Structure 1
Amino acid sequence: MHVALVQSPARTEASDDAEQRGRRALEEAAGTGADLVVFPELSFTPFYPRLPASERAASVLDLAEPVPGPTTEAMAEKAAELGLVVVFNLMERDGDQTFDTSPVIDADGTLLGRTRMMHITAYEHFHEQGYYAPGDTGAPVYDTAVGRLGVAICYDRHYPEYLRALALQEAEIVAVPQAGTVGEWPDGMYEAELRVAALQHGFFTALANRAGQEGDMRFVGRSFVTDPLGRVVAQAEAEEPTVLCTSVDLARCSEAPARQLFLQHRRPNQYKRGAVAPDHAE
């Protein structure tokens, strides 16, 4: 199976050609032989949370669209035409709330579902609590044409319990739409974090990042894929838009130490806060 990571360029302004950009990116990915295509966070729009919501003239609701909606439908049509499983990301409008959402589209164009980012941060350049409600979709794993796929949207990758929930549902690959900047974390931390997660859980990870300058943010790029042993098997260059394609064998998940050992030997009844082993109880 071939995975393509679309390392999209930063967007300085919103435009009306998001659907066209998505279609072109899928065509380029299909040209590399891809079966699964993963896009970064806010795949076709500016990174809106760069500014506090209070500084925007437009309402946050006006920046969002429903799922299904125009972009989802355009991507689904193209996915079916090209036979691709697609994970992308947008700001979703649902009633009077907005979510950071990744629709998951199967190779026949079926919208299998949507994952909403569960954990919402707030710090310099990432004013996300003014834009998104906390996700309410849980941690779904989808049966796709390429295998069992989970999604961890950007900030959610920091939470081991979220990634563990995907592993316990036998996810074989976890797509990570990200908007990560230069110097945001110590050098190499993006890779280190998911390398450990992959080793501990026995799945592949596929992180697609934005690239380049957007206002006062500089997105680092360096999209990558890790295997179930925690090794980086492919990585894009820093800060340059590109499509990275690599081959992965999901059958290797069943042979990983996490599937052979770690997950089998868990003792969740002992992990509760304040739990005391019987031989140490007073």
Structure 2
Amino acid sequence: MESCTNEDLDAIIETNLNSEQLKQFNRIFYGQEDHCELKLRLSTLMASKNENFQVCGYSFAASKEEARSPRILKFGLVQHSIVLPTHKPLKEQRDAIFQKVGKIIDVAASEGVQIICLQEVWSAPFFLCTREKNEWIEFVESPTDGPSIQFLAPLAKKYSMVIISPILELDENNVWWNTVVVINENGKVMGKHRKNHLPSVGSFSETSYYSPGNTGHPVFDTKYGKIAINICYGRHQALNWLMFALNGAEVVFNPAATISEFGESFWGIEARNAAVANSYFTAGINRVGTEVFTVKNKYEEKQISRTYYGSSYVTAPNGVRTPSLSKCSDGLLIAEVDLNLCRQVKDHWGFNMTSRLDMYAKELNAVK
């Protein structure tokens, strides 16, 4: 598979439309004429240039209310490539990723980010495509005191930041899970959520590594807002998104590791649809870069190559969305939102009032 060379959609559009045409495109495609870009610090722009990652920020406003003050939340998304080739010692690979991501978190903190979400299995190459398991076991870790937690917890405490860390979990019975750990602003683990829906598409099957999650649809009531995490493939399941809404989520993050063959054409649609249908903010985070693995067995030695298309973005409950991060570059996307918009959109559209969940529950229960 070739490395990412395709030009980003936003660049194609901006190059080929005049200013008035661009306004109309933005109004229809993004939901508003102006992207409402945040003014970033000069030090942020310099750091992104020096460390070679993209950074951008956008704001989402809500209507002013008499009875409630604005509930402003600033959250960030991090997409990144691996650093070292996959044949290098596993600890060296992980430490190099730690160093890269740590610098991006430092920049996010300088911009006042309160919650940050990393991509699926962020501290390792996505070796799940190899069908090998024992060879990669050192990347699987404890959700309470594994290497990723030990690295991120001090950063969470230092910056009073909630950090969402998707890892591969090894539980007390030596069973693997695809898990997200939520670390609070004091550096303590709030809890975890295990991936509900696992892909088995063609020759790729995550069921070779772990079972579907058993944690339901938890919502984490953080200091800054109520959040949930819909891990990667779960975005294809409308009811998965729905349950996080029914449990009170205000922002639902979708950390992913997905390639063009697995739905690039609807990557920008699913999380956006979920935001509209469920009256909360959604954030899709996808890794970037090409990862090459050499797989050996007694019959052959072959290479497996997978290229990820990034394109992380945020959508508000009214359907307004940000431009995507790059398809090819590491990046930090910052969103400043007013959580009051969730309730305002619910009141306007009345989706909860008209949802008829009792009817659907009855019919689903009757399905054989």
Name the TM-score, length of structure 1 as normaliser: 0.89
Deviations along 1:227-272, one digit per CA (max 9) or x if unpaired, are 0012212421112111111211111000114775011222222113
Report deviation, 1:164: 0.7
Q: Which residue of 1 aligns with 2:166?
A: 89
State the percentage of identical aligned residues.
Answer: 28
- 1:4 matches 2:76: yes
Report runs of 4+ in structure 1 exceeding 6 Å deviation: none
Q: Which residue of 2 aligns with 1:279?
A: none
Q: Which residue of 1 aligns with 2:108?
A: 29
Cα distance in 1, alignment partners of residues 186 and 364 from structure 2: 49
Cα distance in 1, alignment partners of residues 272 and 240 from structure 2: 15
Q: Which residue of 1 aligns with 2:357?
A: 268
Higher helix share: 2
Report deviation, 1:21: 4.1
Equivalent residue runs for 1:144-223 within 5 Å: 144-185=222-263, 187=265, 189-215=266-292, 216-223=305-312
Match of 2:216 among 125, 135, 138: 138
- Report if aligned partners of 1:61, 1:98 keep a CA contact under 8 Å in 2: no
- Report if aligned partners of 2:217, 2:247 keep a CA contact under 8 Å in 1: no
Query: CA 1:270–1:248 in 2, change beyond 3 Å: closer, same or farther?
Result: same
Match of 1:254 among 343, 347, 352: 343
- Report if aligned partners of 2:77, 2:118 keep a CA contact under 8 Å in 1: yes
Give the AA of the match of 1:23: G
Q: Which residue of 1 aligns with 2:144?
A: 68
Query: CA 1:21–1:132 in 2, change beyond 3 Å: closer, same or farther?
Result: farther
Cα distance in 1, alignment partners of residues 178 and 114 from structure 2: 24
Cα distance in 2, alignment partners of residues 208 and 259 from structure 1: 28
Number of equivalenced pairs? 272
- Report if aligned partners of 1:234, 1:246 keep a CA contact under 8 Å in 2: no
Give the AA of the match of 1:75: L
Give the AA of the match of 2:144: P
Q: Which residue of 1 aligns with 2:13?
A: none
Match of 1:49 among 94, 107, 128: 128
Query: Rg: which structure is higher?
Result: 2
- Report if aligned partners of 1:78, 1:109 keep a CA contact under 8 Å in 2: yes
Deviations along 1:63-116, one digit per CA (max 9) or x if unpaired, are 311111221132111111011111121110012210111101112222110011
Structure 1 counterpart SS, 2:186: coil
Structure 2 counterpart SS, 1:248: strand
Cα distance in 2, alignment partners of residues 131 and 28 from structure 1: 34
Of the structure 1 ranges 251-260 and 30-39, higher mean CA displacement relative to structure 2 is found in 251-260
Name the TM-score, length of structure 2 as normaliser: 0.69
The gaps in structure 2 that reach 5 residues or longer are 1-72, 293-304
- Report if aligned partners of 2:285, 2:313 keep a CA contact under 8 Å in 1: yes
Report deviation, 1:62: 4.0
Cα distance in 1, alignment partners of residues 231 and 344 from structure 2: 26
The alignment yields a C-alpha RMSD, in angstroms, of 2.1
- Report if aligned partners of 2:117, 2:163 keep a CA contact under 8 Å in 1: yes
Structure 1 counterpart SS, 2:314: strand
